[in-house]
Structure 1
């Protein structure tokens, strides 16, 4: 991959034409400043996902505790009105916690894309300072959508559908959809609905949550106009023209 592009100045991005090369500047402390910023971004990314995983763990632990309490209640009192009231209350609380956790996961995924893009820009600066380093870099030095996805996949081609399906956001969607379906079925049963009504209500509630979750995710990770400073090279080696770039899907 020819990251320097063609020698023709017209093939370079506007940002590259507007500012002098870092190599020409040759500031003695420049590599230290860049590496400090890089470590700061890495630390922020690590703390962000540590917090997210902790919240997911807490959410799953609480849901498990609710199930244990309901099982003990059913053994003690049966499946009468007290059990139904408690089950509806627990399911509502679990769904609310799940929605709040899902919001944080989507926010963290959006932040993660921005952090990856920022680190790609720093790698571009490293290559400007020492072009001979480029063959040894696995992650991308470009800050557009293609470059960001290359960093996530560590230089390999990755199927976007599989990337999204295996994400933390999709895992949480499945858990919350199950809780939403259970809540819908419990409410229908408490209202005196028959078996068909209860099953239908549960399925509709689960699918409704899943559709809403996917719609929000599509809005968060859909096409957005971003500040692309170092676009990936096109087929001819010159930077590709960029329409409003599409951000990678949830990454966790």
Structure 2
């Protein structure tokens, strides 16, 4: 059906294709802005955590030198480490939330590209980012050239970085508490290593399950054809 501005309407009603393209582009820009804001915010949070942790550990070292590493120093070290761990866990939680939000934005933009292809199938070969709103499509959008394994993507993520940093803090705090309980250095090292490794393992498993749950609950509108899946 022809329209006054030269566009054509479709089965969705009397809205011209040009207007639909403008609406889709507006939504696309909104998603891009939201994604950039979330990424910038989480990077700032990580920087704040690292700065706070560095400053607090330097402060503990200075107090230790000033007090001759007395009982006051030990008490201060325990309190500071508890605060560092608490801030680290809160930062890690935000990093995990932003990771899910980033996947949400990527999937939403993939769905919009599918709408672009519906309007003009000829643009499909020029889109390096995927126009399929499923897991395979999200992987293509995260890395256009394909072939990169999931391990590389996960191991280099901010979530694993934060989990590793928190695991180190938890290991140090656990070892210190075991030492204060009267155990020897060997027991403190073993306890610290076990607590740190255990936390890192739990964080990794929880993150993976959260990622899998997203795709189990989500119903794509334009899934990747079987022949194009990796």
Name the one with the larger helix percent.
2
User: Could you tell me which residue of structure 1 aligns to residue 165 of structure 2?
Assistant: 175
Q: 3-state SS of the aligned residue for 1:222? A: helix
**1:58, 1:154 → 2: CA distance?**
32
- Scaled by the length of structure 2, the TM-score of the pair is 0.89
The 4+ residue runs of structure 1 with deviation greater than 6 A are none
Give structure 2 stretches of 5+ with no counterpart.
1-9
Counterpart pick for 1:86 among 72, 76, 80 = 76
Q: Is the 8 A contact 1:106 1:220 kept in 2?
A: no
Q: Is the 8 A contact 2:17 2:119 kept in 1?
A: no
Counterpart pick for 1:229 among 215, 221, 224 = 221
Q: CA deviation at 1:92?
A: 0.7
Give structure 1 stretches of 5+ with no counterpart.
1-19, 241-252
**2:119, 2:102 → 1: CA distance?**
26
Q: Is the 8 A contact 1:140 1:155 kept in 2?
A: no
Q: 3-state SS of the aligned residue for 2:194? A: helix
Counterpart pick for 2:49 among 49, 59, 63 = 59
Q: CA deviation at 1:25?
A: 6.2
- Count residues in correspondence: 218
User: Could you tell me which residue of structure 2 aligns to residue 125 of structure 1?
Assistant: 115
1:219 aligns with 2:213: no
After superposition, residues 180-199 of structure 1 pair within 5 angstroms as 180-199=170-189
Counterpart pick for 1:161 among 136, 151, 160 = 151
Q: 3-state SS of the aligned residue for 1:29? A: helix
Q: Which has the higher contact order (CA 8 A, sep 6+)?
A: 1
User: Could you tell me which residue of structure 2 aligns to residue 68 of structure 1?
Assistant: 58
Q: Is the 8 A contact 1:139 1:151 kept in 2?
A: yes
Over aligned residues, Cα RMSD in angstroms? 1.9
1:108 aligns with 2:98: yes
- Scaled by the length of structure 1, the TM-score of the pair is 0.82
**2:178, 2:137 → 1: CA distance?**
49
